[in-house]
Amino acid sequence: MEDEILQHNSRILDCLADEILSTFKDVTVERKFITDNETLAGITIDWRQLRDWRSFKKTSEPILKKPIAKQRRLSFNSNTLYTQTYTTHPFIDVYAVKCNKGIAFDHVISEIPHSVERNGDKILYLGDSENDNPAFRRADISIGVISDDRLNPKLDCEYTVSFDQLSVFLKELLDKDLVFSDALLP
């Protein structure tokens, strides 16, 4: 059943990508395929290359959401496309099935062999946008990366580090054998 949903919604996403590219000349659409390179798992509609992408976000993003809503009604069971929007980032992600980085986080954790106990070790997660929030909430230590001064994403993280200080933080973390402390953050 899951494969049937994915295949059906892959075709819907392909039509959506074509419709958006023909209607919105100033955006790019990145098609995201699963490993077979035939099944479309998601698309990213992106306008960050525009000089005034903030204005586009305010005026055109609401119009851009209309074809997404229309195609969503055509998706398997009329509601399986998953849309990720952002408060300040200049793009929208649309996926063939519900997915988020929290689900991915849980999957990765489940793949860690049970014979390896964490022995009090904590899991640290770094991210820079609202699609990281589900993983931030699952991690023991969550650090938001502030990657662009023009953005002000709503991050559900404990700590933040600016992108230009990220390499310094990561080097310090390595020097401390991956043992995190507040003092490592610049």
Domains of the chain, residue spans: 2-95, 101-184
Q: Rounded to whole angstroms, how far apart are CA atoms 29 and 17?
A: 6
Q: Rounded to whole angstroms, how far apart are CA atoms 153 and 185?
A: 20
Q: Rounded to whole angstroms, how far apart are CA atoms 62 and 53?
A: 14
In this structure, the strands spanning 28-33 and 124-127 are unpaired
Return per-residue pLDDT of the chain as tens, 186 residues.
Answer: 678 888 889 999 999 999 999 999 889 999 999 977 889 999 999 998 988 888 998 999 999 998 888 887 777 676 678 888 888 889 999 998 888 899 889 988 888 765 455 566 788 999 999 999 999 999 999 999 998 877 888 999 999 999 999 999 999 999 999 999 999 998
Please give the model's pTM, rounded to 2 decimal places: 0.78
For residue 159, CA distances in Å to 51, 124, 140 come to: 31, 11, 12
End-to-end CA distance of the chain: 49
Q: Select from 83, 79, 71, 74 the least CA-distant residue to 20.
A: 71
pLDDT for 117 equals 58
Residue whose token pair is 């990720």: 84
